[in-house]
Amino acid sequence: MLLASCNAAPTVPADSPPGSPSAASPPGSSPAVSPPGAGSSPSPEASRPADPSAFHPLPPDLRLVPGRRDPSASLTATSVADAVPGIAQPFRLEHCGLASPFDFDGSLWDPVAGRDAEGEAIDSEEEIGELINPTEGEVVLLDAGQVQFRTAAGSIILLTRHVGAKTYFLCS
């Protein structure tokens, strides 16, 4: 049963959450909200690869790799590879947050770093809570190998494309 909730393909809401920020805005700014399908062309900044030095290591509270004795399952992506670089799309982290499959643009993705809305390390209980639970936000394809996921509170997670199947542990 736990596998079923973590194995489900990410749901993309029909409408962006009210007041959800655009993942292409720099920290500390007031990003504009674009409805899905809006934005005729990507902005140059949003489609450039992210500078990893602008991010911080993810908190140790985020357990993303199963241990040897953890119940786990190997999964493959079920999404369609059709994302347009630089265009923010609604996205929902599933039951286990970042420990759930991040299935987008025909691939699974690996979280590598993050920052809060002010560009600092993610360290508050609220920020971590958004990343270990189901969370609404937006995802932007930066280039063929990178995406950014922005939570409603403004934290930004940098993810890299995972090649092939990926093993996930069963969280409670």
- d(CA 27, CA 118) in angstroms, rounded, equals 5
pLDDT of the residue at 65? 61
pLDDT number for residue 72: 77
CA nearest neighbour of 114 among 46, 52, 48, 22: 52
Question: Over the stretch 6-65, which tens digit does the pLDDT of each residue have?
Answer: 444 433 333 333 333 333 333 333 333 333 334 434 444 455 667 777 899 988 767 666
Encoded amino acid at 36, one letter: P
Calculated CA dihedral for residues 101, 132, 58, 121, nearest 10 degrees: 140
Residues 59-112 have pLDDT tens digits of 876 766 656 777 778 889 999 999 999 999 999 999 889 988 999 999 999 999
Q: Residue 46's pLDDT is what?
A: 55
- Rounded distance, CA 71 to CA 85, Å? 35
Look at residue 30 in the predicted model and tell me its pLDDT. Answer: 32
Model-level pTM? 0.69
Residue ranges per structural domain of the chain: 2-10+50-169
pLDDT score, position 35? 35
Among 87, 96, 89, 104, smallest CA distance to 142 is for 87
Q: CB count, 10 Å around CB of 91?
A: 22
What local confidence, expressed as pLDDT, does residue 126 receive? Answer: 93
